[in-house]
Chain A
């Protein structure tokens, strides 16, 4: 019963963000919410990731960085952030919250409930 409730609420929480082609390859776009921006990234092989648009270092907008592999380089001080986990690449330490995201056909769907494991949401 509890399980069913959880599934229901997750389904409710997916929001349509836009199409895959609205984001350039190796680029990012911003989803603006009342609680701040979420950056949605697209890699070279069309994987989509979503992170809080705030570098754990000095709050730089990750959406404005250069995307390479599964990483983004923060535009302010070039910290590298892992797109799948939001973790800073060692030896830097810190994380940006990551958000569940999926692609159905061309459509990008995002949940506004961050994944667990990072306090910076």
Chain B
């Protein structure tokens, strides 16, 4: 779009097409993770656009550099960490020039040349030269036995050095890489000392307290440390013999590993005149100052930052590919990263700014006995950073809240105890992934065990939650194990995993988030699913099974009375107004207002059950009666029978108002304080038929004994002598969450107004398929109180919008279908005898 090159590229393509079959030429310099990931993304988006060549200095395909530590520690083999073998390049028609170094780029003629004279012309070029290990220029640094820890070659050298009996290794650098190298060498049987210039290890990732815990536990394993030691020289004839320090001491060594840091490899970029500072400077579209030349990976400097972790590099790759495919909608806006140490048995997590300053607050939990340390740094009640040692299960949770800028004022008091203590029992003490056996079930919906997931991550080289979902089905159904799967990803990938991009797109068809899509629908007055997809340049013309129902809901919510529901964008249950079962039959559940019924209704249900030979009649948890095993063609007929007795759809199949559960209240109960039954009926009469982001359940209990279980409902009323307590954001199910108290009101009219306002706020603000519980945790109770309790005019406006939209949704869909609406939905098109 705003790419100055777009028009001349179009011309360029035209020239080629006149000549015949030539495609644009895309050349990649650097056969590493970031560059090749970019190519993979390009192939996904525009498989036929480019003729691709790759130059790589190493004599291998593309391998997973972050897994070199496990290779060194003997936990993995080289083959297991290959990401793209040579066959992959062949399969995708990519020319791979391996073992060749590019030392010249003619930008005027657009030609790349290697030291051995190989040339390739390019239309667009990607520089992904990565980084080089920093070698301290002390005497002896180029001696035999002095190496870095950067590539397969280094690992080979270390492995052969470790074969010597009683070999002594010195690792210079007590950062992430140094400690992983030291751990690997120690596992290979070497006597290892780590030399560090400062007084605490991993000072860029850990504060002093966590660092001390780490040092103690590594010492327990036999690692030695020389802290605040400055290396002066490496001593030996040809082969290293010892290391001498500034204070004069000498320590014998057969192997010296320098792991003091990396620096972006900008040599080529500087040589060809691209603007570089610490790294190659790029824009938000990953273009260098020459717009035909892109750069991604560790060699890049973006908004003043350089990155050495995988997740940011992959985000850059995605944006770069998006631009190369001329989609132009993605922008890289920088990454927040988190760190884990890949040393088996040591749990350590850090993210963001964990040191803090005058403007921040620190929450600290320290239990030396259990070896647990957690620190969360807050600024204006938002998480700035976190360090954890010994118990890192909540790392992903803190990281997510940090990324989403979540206000934690409502949960500050419980924050350090973890998500399990929020009344959200998604995971608890028993579920620490590291301690789980391979046969522990992670995803109960699909029966996927820890071993299956770990196996898929390592064998199929998966990096993201979505990858795991596609390949294993874990976390793809109810989603309650998502945190565990993310923890497993972090645990398995170790060091460089940070779980998700800054922005979560609505689905694979778009880069836009739920919120961005909703805003655009509103501001650009988009009124059909097709309009939204076209305006926001959906990658797949008619979307997928994930986005279409979401868009249909957003439009329905935004334009009540105006939007025409798109049946084909609804999941079968909502399209057919019944729940599909595993044998393709359906269930039928009529509404019972506030859980009440009559002999006539029961008789009608009994008659229908007999007439249609219903196999199972079952009382539901929502105080109604379900009939199972009906054929699709029978549905309009049974609905016709039921509606003659006054029974209407219970919407038990919808992302919609389900039930309002009640107790008998003061009409019968000796403890009842208010007429909770009538209140429940009134609530249900007001809200039935409404569509919501996810299913929505209510309850009204007549006294604080709470027999209607109102405190695990999306909206619950507990009657008290002085009026009504209103509770919000609860649910049963896998992740039980008790409600938060919203407020206390005095009259039943107020209950109805608050109920309508809260429901409308949820309808307008939550993401599709997000229940009130996670929504409330995301936006915070304070936000909801501000909108529904404190702002009277706002509350009334919300309630009014709710009631307005209800005008268009309170027609019984069952009766309509019994009378012939959507006849095609229920009948075969043809019967063949």
Binding site for B on A (CB under 8 A): 15-18, 22-27, 29-34, 37, 40, 44, 58-61, 64-69, 73, 75-78, 80, 91, 112
- Of B471, B540, B572, B831, which contacts A68 at CB under 8 A? B540
Asked whether any CB of chain A lies closer than 8 Å to the CB of B542, the reply is yes
Q: Which residues does chain A contribute within 8 Å of B545, judged by CB atoms?
A: 65-66, 68, 73, 78, 80
Asked whether any CB of chain A lies closer than 8 Å to the CB of B824, the reply is yes
A16 to B830, CA, bound (A): 9
Q: Which residues does chain A contribute within 8 Å of B580, judged by CB atoms?
A: 61, 64, 75-76
A68 touches B824 (CB 8 A): no
B828 touches A29 (CB 8 A): yes
Q: Which residues does chain B contribute within 8 Å of A65, judged by CB atoms?
A: 545, 572
Asked whether any CB of chain A lies closer than 8 Å to the CB of B582, the reply is yes
Asked whether any CB of chain A lies closer than 8 Å to the CB of B157, the reply is no
User: Least Cβ distance of B445 to chain A in Å?
Assistant: 9
User: Least Cβ distance of B86 to chain A in Å?
Assistant: 21
A26 touches B471 (CB 8 A): no
A34 touches B828 (CB 8 A): no
A33 to B832, CA, bound (A): 5
B832 touches A67 (CB 8 A): no
Q: Can you give 25 contacting A-B residue pairs, CB < 8 Å?
A: A17-B829, A17-B830, A18-B829, A22-B829, A23-B829, A29-B829, A30-B828, A32-B830, A32-B831, A33-B832, A34-B832, A59-B584, A64-B572, A65-B572, A66-B545, A66-B548, A66-B568, A66-B571, A66-B572, A68-B540, A68-B544, A73-B545, A75-B572, A78-B476, A91-B470
Asked whether any CB of chain A lies closer than 8 Å to the CB of B30, the reply is no
Q: Which A-B residue pairs are the 5 nearest by beta carbons?
A: A73-B545, A29-B829, A66-B545, A64-B572, A26-B568
Q: Which residues does chain B contribute within 8 Å of A27, judged by CB atoms?
A: 567-568
Q: Which residues does chain B contribute within 8 Å of A37, judged by CB atoms?
A: 828
A68 to B509, CA, bound (A): 11
A76 touches B471 (CB 8 A): no
- Of A32, A69, A73, A78, which contacts B542 at CB under 8 A? A69
Q: Taking chain B's interface residues, is the majority helix, strand, or loop, or is none over half, making it mixed?
A: loop
A112 to B542, CA, bound (A): 29
B832 touches A73 (CB 8 A): no
Question: CB-defined interface of B442-475 with A at 8 Å, one 1/0 digit per residue?
Answer: 0000000000000000001000000000110100
B568 touches A25 (CB 8 A): yes
Q: Which residues does chain A contribute within 8 Å of B824, judged by CB atoms?
A: 22-24, 29
Q: Which residues does chain B contribute within 8 Å of A32, judged by CB atoms?
A: 828, 830-832
Of all chain B residues, the one with the shortest Cβ separation from A73 is: B545
Q: Which residues does chain B contribute within 8 Å of A22, judged by CB atoms?
A: 824, 829
A22 to B825, CA, bound (A): 10
Among B575-589, those with CB < 8 Å from A are 576, 580, 582, 584
Among B65-109, those with CB < 8 Å from A are none
Q: Which residues does chain A contribute within 8 Å of B476, judged by CB atoms?
A: 78
User: Least Cβ distance of A95 to chain B in Å?
Assistant: 18
Q: Which residues does chain B contribute within 8 Å of A59, judged by CB atoms?
A: 584
Contacts between chains A and B (CB distance < 8 A), count: 87
Residue from the set B477, B824, B829, B832 with the largest chain A CB neighbour count within 10 Å: B829
B582 touches A68 (CB 8 A): no
Of all chain B residues, the one with the shortest Cβ separation from A26 is: B568
A67 to B242, CA, bound (A): 69
Among B515-563, those with CB < 8 Å from A are 540-545, 548-549
A26 to B575, CA, bound (A): 13
Asked whether any CB of chain A lies closer than 8 Å to the CB of B359, the reply is no
Q: Which residues does chain B contribute within 8 Å of A80, judged by CB atoms?
A: 545
A31 touches B828 (CB 8 A): yes
Q: Which residues does chain A contribute within 8 Å of B460, judged by CB atoms?
A: 91
Q: Which residues does chain B contribute within 8 Å of A23, judged by CB atoms?
A: 824, 829
Of all chain B residues, the one with the shortest Cβ separation from A58 is: B582
B572 touches A67 (CB 8 A): no
User: Least Cβ distance of A28 to chain B in Å?
Assistant: 9
A18 touches B830 (CB 8 A): yes
Binding site for A on B (CB under 8 A): 460, 470-471, 473, 476-477, 540-545, 548-549, 567-569, 571-572, 576, 580, 582, 584, 824, 828-833
Q: Which residues does chain A contribute within 8 Å of B568, judged by CB atoms?
A: 24-27, 66-67
A67 to B549, CA, bound (A): 12
Q: Which residues does chain B contribute within 8 Å of A17, judged by CB atoms?
A: 829-830
Known contacts: A31-B832, A69-B541. The answer to whether A64 contacts B548 by CB under 8 A is no
A32 to B633, CA, bound (A): 12
Of all chain B residues, the one with the shortest Cβ separation from A60 is: B584
A30 to B830, CA, bound (A): 7
Q: Which residues does chain B contribute within 8 Å of A58, judged by CB atoms?
A: 582
Of all chain B residues, the one with the shortest Cβ separation from A90 is: B470
Q: Which residues does chain B contribute within 8 Å of A68, judged by CB atoms?
A: 540, 542-545, 548
Q: Which residues does chain B contribute within 8 Å of A75, judged by CB atoms?
A: 571-572, 580
Q: Which residues does chain A contribute within 8 Å of B471, judged by CB atoms?
A: 91
Q: Which residues does chain B contribute within 8 Å of A31, judged by CB atoms?
A: 828-832
User: Least Cβ distance of B827 to chain A in Å?
Assistant: 8
A24 touches B567 (CB 8 A): yes
Of all chain B residues, the one with the shortest Cβ separation from A57 is: B473
A15 to B829, CA, bound (A): 12
A25 to B824, CA, bound (A): 12
A33 to B571, CA, bound (A): 26
Q: Which residues does chain A contribute within 8 Å of B832, judged by CB atoms?
A: 15, 31-34, 112
User: Least Cβ distance of B257 to chain A in Å?
Assistant: 39
A76 to B582, CA, bound (A): 7
User: Least Cβ distance of A35 to chain B in Å?
Assistant: 9
A16 to B832, CA, bound (A): 10
A58 to B567, CA, bound (A): 25
User: Least Cβ distance of B271 to chain A in Å?
Assistant: 43
Q: Which residues does chain B contribute within 8 Å of A91, judged by CB atoms?
A: 460, 470-471
A98 to B43, CA, bound (A): 29
User: Least Cβ distance of B468 to chain A in Å?
Assistant: 11
User: Least Cβ distance of A15 to chain B in Å?
Assistant: 7
User: Least Cβ distance of B553 to chain A in Å?
Assistant: 14
Residue from the set A61, A80, A112 with the largest chain B CB neighbour count within 10 Å: A61
Q: Which residues does chain A contribute within 8 Å of B571, judged by CB atoms?
A: 66, 75
A15 to B831, CA, bound (A): 11
B584 touches A61 (CB 8 A): yes
B542 touches A44 (CB 8 A): yes
A69 to B545, CA, bound (A): 11
A44 to B548, CA, bound (A): 13
18 additional A-B residue pairs with CB within 8 Å, beyond A69-B541, A73-B545, A77-B473 = A22-B829, A24-B568, A24-B824, A26-B569, A27-B567, A29-B824, A29-B829, A33-B832, A37-B828, A40-B829, A60-B584, A61-B584, A66-B544, A66-B549, A68-B543, A75-B571, A76-B582, A78-B476
Q: Which residues does chain B contribute within 8 Å of A66, judged by CB atoms?
A: 544-545, 548-549, 568-569, 571-572
A69 touches B828 (CB 8 A): no
Q: Which residues does chain B contribute within 8 Å of A30, judged by CB atoms?
A: 828-829
User: Least Cβ distance of B653 to chain A in Å?
Assistant: 12
- Of B540, B548, B833, which contacts A34 at CB under 8 A? B833
Q: Which residues does chain A contribute within 8 Å of B470, judged by CB atoms?
A: 91
User: Least Cβ distance of A6 to chain B in Å?
Assistant: 22
